[in-house]
Structure 1
Amino acid sequence: MPRPTPPSNVRQADESRPHPAHEPEGRALRRGLLLLEAVQRSGEAGARVADLCRALALERATVYRLLATLIDCGHVQRQGRWHYVAAPAAQLRGARQLSDIASEMAQRLAPVLARVSAGCGDAAFAVVREGHSAWCVARHIGSYPVQILAVQVGSRQPLGVGAAGLALLAAMPEAEARAAIGAHGDALARYGGMTVERLRILVRSTRERGWSVVGNHAVKGVLGVGRALCDADGLPLAGISVAASMDRMTRQRQQAIAALMHEALAGA
């Protein structure tokens, strides 16, 4: 006899959902990887279950279940009574994997940045996600006499303060985006007076528009336009952007650059 379907306005608690054995493999794997990332970001201090629940918007039962699996596989270990830290070997593997991903993405996006930069004349950038930060992995300088080199390859800044990072942030699942914005805290104020509320508005606008626009935050007097590169499931892999002076970035030109990036990313 089929299980009765609950009313549409009733949200089942996470622990009352189907047994983990019946949970879609992709979702379970993604949750596990996100949890491991969160533990790794906590560093030597470690993370409590309550912290992990808030960061990932998961129920305690789910977090405990995933932690048990990560401990069994040697990726996480308990520290004291309440905290969990990444096992030393897992920390090293995580750093190497992220470095490999960054290198591969830089190579993949190099022709995209070259095409975009050639089309608009301005510098183009590519970033990948590192925790709650945008990590610049590639840059291509354009032909326009005045180039705005907003960030250097290898630099990091909070997700959302630059156009590429904002595009990436807006493409993330809602729970992850909220957690990232909340984790920025006071660090945002150092970027042109950015605030949590301002960043939330920018994320909403980016999702409605399909591409990001942000100015006067990463660099004063500079405006950037960005788009995200997503996988087949719509999850973001990287963000690209073009930066130029505010007076050069008219609304019409912003739209033209966004269209150019869309075409260039289609073949990435």
Structure 2
Amino acid sequence: MAEQQGKMGKSQVVERTCMILRELGRHGPGGARLIDLTSRTGLSRPTVHRILTTLVAELFVERTADRGYRLSSQIYELGLNAPSPVGDTSRLRPIVQALADECGDTVYLAMRTGDFGHYLLRCEGAYPIRTHVVSANQTLSLVSSHCGRSLLGSMSEDEAEQIIRRAERDKRLFGEATPDGLRDEVEHVRKKGYGWARDVTFVGVAGLTVPVPNPRGSSFLAMSISTIPQRLTQERAEKVLPGLKAAAAQIAEVLAGGRGGASTGRG
């Protein structure tokens, strides 16, 4: 046979190609060296080089200026014809609204689109003082929002740093934060799994944020609770964090096709 078959009928060549493409995706526009790909995939150098040579010839991968490899724009063109990973947001709204009802504040769900976060949902709690600084269907730079910090913290350090550097061309994108201060916040998300900040995106706004888990790679969704700084002290943030994490996990379950996702309870 032209290619080896796995026990379940899988093509070994295709499986290895997918491993390499996923790893290139994790490295972002900066690309990856051959040694990085062999180390991360566990494949031999000749195997990785042979597959990369074919992917370059087929225009799915391109060489970088420093002789690395990265995904080509043809992958982006293919992605335009792929269905949204979220689909109909109406099935997610009950989860977001349930958290807003529970904490009393504004809850957001945002999705990454390149260097930006697109806000899919905004649900309101009963607390009378609200922080309406972002609307549903609004798109912000990842460095400009709490959800953006979660998304930056869930990707590789190199990819996040490239996004931050591109954003540094316009320091206004960082709001009340500095680029280095943002880097510290992103590192906190990377280590702790959540972000908490006050008066950094906008004066008078506090946010608690977590990435929505993605078992196949970096998170492409994030959730945040937004309110006034006086209401989101560190003590209260610690109290509402479990509910926020549970809602994010529930959204991940719905997107994965798990059962029980439509329930608004998180007991």
Q: How many residues align?
A: 224
Aligned to 2:165: 182
Q: State whether structure 2 residue 102 is matched by structure 1 residue 119.
A: yes
User: Residue by residue, what CA displacement relative to the aligned partner does 1:101-150 show, whole Å, maximum 9, x if unpaired?
Assistant: 3545x345323211210111111111111111111111112222122123
User: Helix, strand or coil for the counterpart of 1:170?
Assistant: helix
Q: State whether structure 2 residue 157 is matched by structure 1 residue 168.
A: no
8 Å CA contact 2:167, 2:173 repeated in 1: no
Q: State whether structure 2 residue 193 is matched by structure 1 residue 201.
A: no
* Matched AA of 1:28: I
Find the aligned partners of 1:126 and 1:229 in 2 and give their Cα distance. 9
Gaps of 5+ in 2: 1-12, 38-48, 64-70, 252-267
Aligned to 2:124: 141
Aligned to 1:9: none
Aligned to 2:45: none
User: Helix, strand or coil for the counterpart of 1:230?
Assistant: coil
Which of 86, 92, 107 lines up with 2:73 in the alignment?
86
User: Helix, strand or coil for the counterpart of 2:110?
Assistant: strand
8 Å CA contact 2:26, 2:156 repeated in 1: no
Pair 91,134 (structure 1): closer, same or farther in 2 beyond 3 Å: same
Pair 137,96 (structure 1): closer, same or farther in 2 beyond 3 Å: farther
Which of 20, 23, 27 lines up with 1:28 in the alignment?
20
User: Offset of 1:196 from its aligned partner?
Assistant: 2.4
Q: Percent identity?
A: 23
Aligned to 1:247: 230
User: Helix, strand or coil for the counterpart of 1:252?
Assistant: helix
Find the aligned partners of 2:215 and 2:72 in 1 and give their Cα distance. 32
8 Å CA contact 2:17, 2:51 repeated in 1: no
* Matched AA of 1:140: C
Which of 195, 199, 216 lines up with 2:199 in the alignment?
216
Gaps of 5+ in 1: 1-20, 39-54, 79-83
For normalisation by structure 2, the TM-score amounts to 0.68
Find the aligned partners of 1:267 and 1:259 in 2 and give their Cα distance. 12
8 Å CA contact 1:224, 1:244 repeated in 2: yes
For normalisation by structure 1, the TM-score amounts to 0.68
Q: State whether structure 2 residue 245 is matched by structure 1 residue 258.
A: no
User: Helix, strand or coil for the counterpart of 1:217?
Assistant: coil
